[in-house]
Amino acid sequence: MDGQGLIIPLWADLIAVGLGGVQGALFASGFRGEDRRLDLLGVAIIGIVMGMGGGLIRDLLLNVPAATLQSNWYLLTATGAALIGMLLAGLFQRLNAAIVGLDAVVIGLFGAFGTTKALTLGLPVVPAIFVGVCSAVGGGILRDMIMGLPVAIMHVGSLYAVAALVGCAVLAGAQSAGAPSLAASLIAIVVTAVIRLLAVVFDISLPEQRALHRRKVAVETSAIPIIKP
């Protein structure tokens, strides 16, 4: 019923969840909205959402029992990591590179775990890659929706979801070509992290769709008053 146990050892899963929890806490501690500040519980929730959200979405899409709810350790790890991340936020935020690097590795881990689990459960290649990408970026989407922020991956940015997409596709391709599961996962994690980091360093992004319409971009962005959606 749940093929993950065969493939992803608990400690690897918990490392991903813990890194996600730290990520969430760093995000939360950097957040200052209009009079909407987070309390301790809010930070813990963001940590849980970032650490466990991707896995929950993966298991909902796969219609299997949520792996992260089958053991006490996931919630304890995510919450503990969020609290540690919060206490050390001052330190981490001086190390911006550390956050970006951590984030890139987390996307890679969740993407690889998601795609592997989907393939193990017998999904075709395209939806397996889709499940992997949803695992990788789902925590961030949930976080933004709960926080009432624009969902980051929807807007012109730094190839965030694309990095996950390429990594998951590489994993699926490598497995189809007969590569062992562990090697395929490691390659996928490295590919995702490298693309994400290169995108940040060189500030690369996808072309905006409207450029394809040959709209008068310059006019639109300067002369026409901004209309709220």
| Binding residues for a second copy restricted to 187-206, rule: CB under 8 A | 205-206
Question: Does 171 participate in binding a second copy (rule CB under 8 A)?
Answer: no
| Cα distance between residue 216 and residue 220, in whole Å | 6
User: How many CA within 13 A on the CB side of residue 166?
Assistant: 12
Question: Does 95 participate in binding a second copy (rule CB under 8 A)?
Answer: no
* Rounded least distance, CB 127 to a second copy, Å: 4
* Rounded least distance, CB 42 to a second copy, Å: 5
Q: Which of 41, 177, 219, 223 binds a second copy (CB under 8 A)?
A: 41
| Cα distance between residue 57 and residue 46, in whole Å | 15
Specify the stretch interacting with a second copy by CB under 8 A; choose among 13-21, 68-76, 97-105, 177-185: 68-76
Listed in sequence order, the DSSP H helices in 63-124 are 72-87, 89-94, 96-120
Q: Which is nearer to a second copy, 4 or 183 (CB)?
A: 4
Q: Which is nearer to a second copy, 60 or 183 (CB)?
A: 60
Q: Which of 7, 75, 187, 194 binds a second copy (CB under 8 A)?
A: 75
- 90-122 in b/e form (b: 16+ CB < 10 A) is eebeeeeeebeebbbbbbbbbbbbbbbbbbbbe
Residues whose CB falls within 8 Å of the CB of residue 153, separated by 6 or more in sequence, listed in order: 137, 140, 141, 160, 161
* Rounded least distance, CB 31 to a second copy, Å: 7
Q: Which of 106, 153, 171, 191 binds a second copy (CB under 8 A)?
A: 153
Question: Does 131 participate in binding a second copy (rule CB under 8 A)?
Answer: yes
| Cα distance between residue 55 and residue 18, in whole Å | 13
**Cβ atoms within 10 Å of 37's Cβ, excluding its own:** 10
Q: Which of 5, 9, 65, 180 binds a second copy (CB under 8 A)?
A: 65
Q: Which of 5, 6, 9, 60 binds a second copy (CB under 8 A)?
A: 60
Q: Which is nearer to a second copy, 118 or 193 (CB)?
A: 118
Q: How many residues does the chain have?
A: 229
* Rounded least distance, CB 4 to a second copy, Å: 14
Rounded to a whole number, what is the largest CA-CA distance in the chain? Answer: 59
Specify the stretch interacting with a second copy by CB under 8 A; choose among 4-12, 86-94, 183-191, 195-203: 86-94
Residue 137 near residue 175 (C-beta atoms within 8 A) = no
Question: Does 209 participate in binding a second copy (rule CB under 8 A)?
Answer: yes
Question: Does 216 participate in binding a second copy (rule CB under 8 A)?
Answer: no
Question: Does 147 participate in binding a second copy (rule CB under 8 A)?
Answer: yes
125-147 vs 10-29: helix crossing angle, rounded to 10: 30
